[in-house]
Amino acid sequence: MDQTASLEFAQKYLEDLLSFYGVNVSVDASISDDVIELSVPSTDDNSILIGRGAETLRGMQYVISTTLRNQNAAVVRVNIDIADYKKQRAEKLAEKARGWIEQVRETGDSHVASINAADRRVVHKVASEYDDIETFSEGEGRDRRIIIAQKSS
């Protein structure tokens, strides 16, 4: 399954999955950095589709990604955003990361945060805007965390 077929498959799969929740909407789909980006517009069922702690959202991503992998698709990483939930969450996290970076700059002490992989990517991206700050991840699995530190000269 090539890139275009992977994209179309994931889009249709998500639309079919949403229809089980009684949500019949058109899903926007694109590919960015070898990740299929699926965007679901806002509906009355946003909270159900996102779930507590975005568990339902992550579950849908996992199901679609696993199905793509089983179909030997060219692109298997999937990111679903419902009603711009992830976009807004990333913006809030970026602000928090800037605060952590300022704290590291003022005190010189490293900051450690236990956050999920998607959130770590956001923090790494924000930290890359600073010449005097470096970030790295340590640990395995659920114990993985990000460390924000000043670059040593």
53-75 pLDDT per residue, tens: 888 998 999 999 999 999 988 88
Summarised one tens digit per residue, pLDDT across range 22-50 is: 888 899 999 988 889 999 998 888 888 89
Cα dihedral 93, 98, 102, 107 sign: positive
More confident residue, 152 or 108: 108
Assign domain 3-83 to a CATH class: alpha beta
Assign domain 88-150 to a CATH class: alpha beta
Residue 15 has pLDDT above 60, yes or no: yes
Residue ranges matching CATH 3.30.1370.50 in the chain: 88-150
pLDDT of residue 153: 45
Residue 152 has pLDDT above 80, yes or no: no
Residue ranges matching CATH 3.30.300.20 in the chain: 3-83
- Which residues in 4-28 are b (16+ Cβ under 10 Å) and which e? eebbebbbebbbebbeeeebeeebe
Cα(127)–Cα(149) distance, integer angstroms: 10
